[in-house]
Structure 1
Amino acid sequence: MISRLKRHPDAQECKRRALPGTAAGSGGSGRARPEEPALPPPPPGSSPPPLPPRNSPPPSPDSAPPSRARDSPPPPPPRESPPPLPPRGGDMHEWPEELRRAHAAFAMGIEWGKEWSELVTRYLEFEGACGYQEDGPRIGGEKKPEEVGKWISRGRKWFSPPRIANVGAVGEMGSYAENWWVWWRSLQPVERVLIEETGMMSFPAKLSWGKLTKLHGRNGFMQVMASLLWWGLAMKGDGEKTAWLEAVTDVECILTGVIQSGEAT
């Protein structure tokens, strides 16, 4: 069953991701590479197991525990389940039909990691803050990937995504990744700038959200979500996934900022 996620990255976290020295930029996003998790400390009052006494005789064959290898094979290691997508339910009865179809398609990425799950959560919260409207202003921007237009002209078939011939990398002219970032950057508040040292976009504390607060419904951020879904389905190898994760995280940061501003309408 799909459940809600616990944390909301705020603008300060997104800002830290974009500061010089926080991550090695790989294109044009705002996401730092996660640090290795620290090992948890031992529980209070615990002590290491005692060592056997000196010169103690080895255990006899009769007293030794039976070998697991003779009895049965060891159990397989537990399999980590994929992170959940947001719940089906709650306000879902208020959703427009297009949003229902989109949410069903987002589940195709259920094994892509928590970043995708968190983005889906934030996107649904944005649509909720705008009142779950069917339509809205058309998202513009420079060099919108041609796949978006083809998908719309063919009836917005969520489970028949357009074919991406060259996912490529950020900076590779003509690649989907490069075209996507050119488009996304053109939609940003004027205060966001590209940081040369990291190759990432800045995230100032104060941003003029402007038109981003009204990009609800089928003509707004839903098209950004669709473009990231296709990118995820087409990506191959760690390099392409890293660029995709940076895009996913940057979109989530922007949606979080719009929601927290209280200006989404």
Structure 2
Amino acid sequence: LDLEWANVVRLWFNLDAKGSFETKDGKLGTGNRPGAVQGWIARAWNAKWRPTKLDMAKFSEEFKKWWHGLQPEGREQEPDCFITLSKVEGVEWGLLKARGTNGIASIVAALAWWREGIIAMPHSKPREMQARDLQISRFEEALEEVVYIFRAM
């Protein structure tokens, strides 16, 4: 989890640096935005705030729906994948380029909570291990998808 996560954070920093850390590029869409992200925004993007008692299965599905809704036209769900969408040439990334707290910082924050939630998941029993492994797989796929977008922008 750590190497790809560090890559996401590095790429996010580079994107913001490219824009001189300005926040004037708009906002991400709010359709299907996870409740945890809304809670963070309602608390003025407090860096210390964390959602409590995240249901990881529900949260990963919410993130997926939100992520898919943020994508430009032409990106289609890849078969047999949780979140991965098609890689198409000449895409205009539009509002995904939004910087600042209402922009891609919200994506990175949601990924951070997802990661923390996975780390906190119990995994001493077979069923718990299976649920955690599924979330790790989904999270890693989401990281790959975000890395693709951040590099493309």
- The TM-score, its normalising length taken from structure 1, stands at 0.50
Residues 1-265 of structure 1 aligned to structure 2 (within 5 Å)? 112-168=1-57, 175-198=58-81, 200-213=84-97, 215-235=98-118, 236=121, 237-258=132-153
Give the superposition deviation at 1:242.
Answer: 1.3
In the comparison of the two structures, how many residue pairs are matched? 140
Give the superposition deviation at 1:241.
Answer: 1.3
- Residues 27 and 95, structure 2, Cα contact 8 Å, conserved in 1: no
Structure 1 vs Structure 2: percent identity of aligned residues?
24
- Residues 119 and 248, structure 1, Cα contact 8 Å, conserved in 2: yes
Amino acid at match of 1:176: F
Find the residue that maps to 1:195 and give its secondary structure: coil
Structure 1 runs (4+) deviating above 6 angstroms are: none
Instruction: Give the distance between the partners of 1:255 and 1:164, measured in 2 at CA.
Output: 29
Give the gaps of 5 or more residues in structure 2.
122-131
- The TM-score, its normalising length taken from structure 2, stands at 0.83
Give the gaps of 5 or more residues in structure 1.
1-111, 169-174, 259-265
Give the superposition deviation at 1:136.
Answer: 4.0
Rg: which structure is higher?
Answer: 1
Higher relative contact order (CA 8 A, sep 6+): 2
Structure whose residues are more often helix by fraction: 2
Question: Could you list the per-position Cα deviations for residues 181-208 of structure 1 after superposition, in whole angstroms to 9, with x for gaps in the alignment?
Answer: 0000111121210123545311113212
CA RMSD in angstroms comes to 1.7
